Amino acid sequence: MATTGFVAEGGCTCGTVRYRLDDDPIFVHGCHCTWCQRQSGSAFAVNAMIETDRVTVLSGKLEEVPIPSPSGRGQSILRCPSCRIAVWSHYAGNGQKLAFVHVGTLDDAGRIAPDIHIYTNTKMPWFTLPADKPAVPGYYRASEVMPLASLARMAALGD
């Protein structure tokens, strides 16, 4: 497996769940949809998309909690069974092979910034988007914004 040598660790807030990203993310969303606002309790979610098999669980056993999603196809949130902090999600559209890692749970969350801001039609009005990243009112076409290497990784997941 060709990787960039990127490694980052993270975990929940009580220390039961620890994980490691074994590669850099495919693509990182700053998602301003109202569903992500509710789930995070904040103004947006920061989700790093990565192949689930490139996330190594170092300690703890994750609890998978299914919840509804606006697509109607559902989402499952992986949480620490003790402190309930969410570390990543799977969406029905991409299945279990793709993880949306909640970037705030990384020990050094500042290493990963959103590559794109999505659903900015429901962005909180007081928050100013960074000028140097694409932003779209709803979702986007991966072929138009993802780097070629990321598109290839996404395509490989679908095989």
Task: Give one word for 39, left, alpha or beta, with left for phi > 0 and alpha for psi -120 to 50.
Answer: alpha
Angle at 95 between CA 21 and CA 74, to 5 degrees: 115
Would you count residue 40 as binding another protein (CB under 8 A)? yes
CA 98 – CA 55 distance, rounded (Å): 10
d(CA 106, CA 2): 23
- CB of 92 vs another protein, minimal distance in Å: 15
Query: Based on CB atoms, which residue is closest to another protein, 109 or 157?
Result: 109
Asked whether position 29 contacts another protein by CB under 8 A, the answer is no
Query: Which residue among 8, 12, 50, 99 contacts another protein (CB under 8 A)?
Result: 12
Could you tell me the smallest distance in angstroms from the CB atom of residue 63 to another protein? 8
- For 80, the 3-state DSSP assignment is coil
Question: In the numeric block, which tokens belong to residue 98?
Answer: 């793709």
Footprint on this chain of another protein (rule: CB under 8 A): 11-14, 34-35, 37-46, 65, 67-68, 77, 79, 83-87, 102-105, 109-110, 113-114, 124-128, 130, 133
